[in-house]
Amino acid sequence: MKVAIITGGSRGIGKSIALNTAKRGVGVILTYNNNREEGLAVANEIKKNGGKAVALQWDSSKVASFGDFTAQVKESLKDEFGKETFDFLVNNAGISGQRGSILETTEEGFDELVNVNLKGPYFLTQKLVPLMADGGHIINISSGLARFAFPNVAVYGALKSALEGFTRYFAKEFADRKIRANSVAPGAVDTEFGGGKDSNVKKHISEMTALGKMAEAEDIGLFVASLLTDDSRFLNAQRIELSGGFFI
Ligand SMILES: NC(=O)c1ccc[n+]([C@@H]2O[C@H](COP(=O)([O-])OP(=O)(O)OC[C@H]3O[C@@H](n4cnc5c(N)ncnc54)[C@H](OP(=O)(O)O)[C@@H]3O)[C@@H](O)[C@H]2O)c1
């Protein structure tokens, strides 16, 4: 059984990625941060449906704890899946963080976003890649805001651009092991991210989207799960926008 590690699998997009990945017969190690119950519930749902899953606590902002987390991953691989390696990593966990103009940005707000949305996935990838099987695949969840300059999200958007840059550098550096890396950039998605979106925002986004609606988590989860198969075997170092045709 192939195994995927999916960060932020307790809610929203990550939960949908975890459930849809398991439906395709892939074992899942998902992480939660604050919402333990939700994380365990996702793993239980997978097991109830005949799949294999483990939920582990992981905080993206605490790089010093990543060694212990990696040890837990090793143990789970051995105990739950009878394996020493895993196959897929989805760096999905993220926060919307401090919003405001560039002039209003505080160092604390900036640092929090850097730590959770960039430093965390960067060093988690560094720590886990020795455990990844050759021929593995990494998906980094970016955002349409890496491409569009919207008001009040300069730090978030710039960091998602950096994550896309990291994706390309990673793909180059690990090509000898045939490990691929791609980023998926959703447009706005109807989750609790950043406190959720009110009905006016949803209406506006729907009107600006060729497919006439704002994405649900499932629209993203289905696609990312489909990338965690051999069908995507020649896709590498790409940014894929998944917005239903936003602002075209
Ligand atoms: N929703 C959108 O409109 C949208 C659009 C484009 C891109 N994205 C990106 O998609 C990804 C998922 O977003 P979402 O909408 O699913 O968000 P969400 O519903 O708010 O879920 C966020 C997930 O990330 C986890 N998380 C939050 N802070 C964390 C931390 N410090 N360490 C580890 N895990 C942490 C949460 O875990 P706990 O709940 O257990 O704490 C939760 O599982 C993010 O990278 C986001 O930037 C979202």
Measured distance CA(129)–CA(144) in Å, rounded: 27
Whether 93 lines ligand 1, by a CB cut-off of 6 Å, is yes
Measured distance CA(66)–CA(85) in Å, rounded: 17
Residue 47 lies in a domain: yes
Identify whether 156 is a catalytic site residue.
yes
pLDDT at position 118, please? 99
> Does this model's pTM top 0.85?
yes
Whether 94 lines ligand 1, by a CB cut-off of 6 Å, is yes
Locus of tokens 């998602």: 160
Measured distance CA(68)–CA(73) in Å, rounded: 9
Q: H or E stretch including 121?
A: helix 120-128
Q: Residues 99, 149: contact at Cβ < 8 Å?
A: no
Q: How far is the CA of 12 from the centre of ligand 1 (A)?
A: 7
pLDDT at position 202, please? 95
Identify whether 61 is a catalytic site residue.
no
Count of domains for the chain: 1
Residue 110 lies in a domain: yes
The phi and psi torsions of 244 (rounded to 5 degrees) equal 70, 15
Q: Look up residue 200 and give its two tokens.
A: 């006016």
Q: What is the pLDDT of residues 182-238, one digit of tens each?
A: 999 999 999 999 999 999 999 999 999 999 999 999 999 999 999 999 999 999 999
Q: Residues 244, 219: contact at Cβ < 8 Å?
A: yes
Residue 53 lies in a domain: yes
Residue 248 lies in a domain: no
Q: What is the pLDDT of residues 70-83, one digit of tens each?
A: 999 999 999 999 99
Identify whether 10 is a catalytic site residue.
no
| Best mutation site among 29, 58, 95 for ligand 1 pocket (most ligand atoms within 8 Å of CB) | 95
Looking at ligand 1, which atom is closest to the CA of residue 115?
31
Whether 143 lines ligand 1, by a CB cut-off of 6 Å, is yes
Task: Collect the ranges in the chain with pLDDT lower than 50.
Answer: none
Whether 8 lines ligand 1, by a CB cut-off of 6 Å, is yes
Range of the domain at 64: 3-242
Residue 247 lies in a domain: no
Identify whether 169 is a catalytic site residue.
no
Task: Specify the CATH number for the domain of residue 221.
Answer: 3.40.50.720
Locus of tokens 């940005």: 105
Dihedral class, residue 100 (left if φ above 0, else alpha if ψ from -120 to 50, else beta): left
Q: How far is the CA of 8 from the centre of ligand 1 (A)?
A: 6
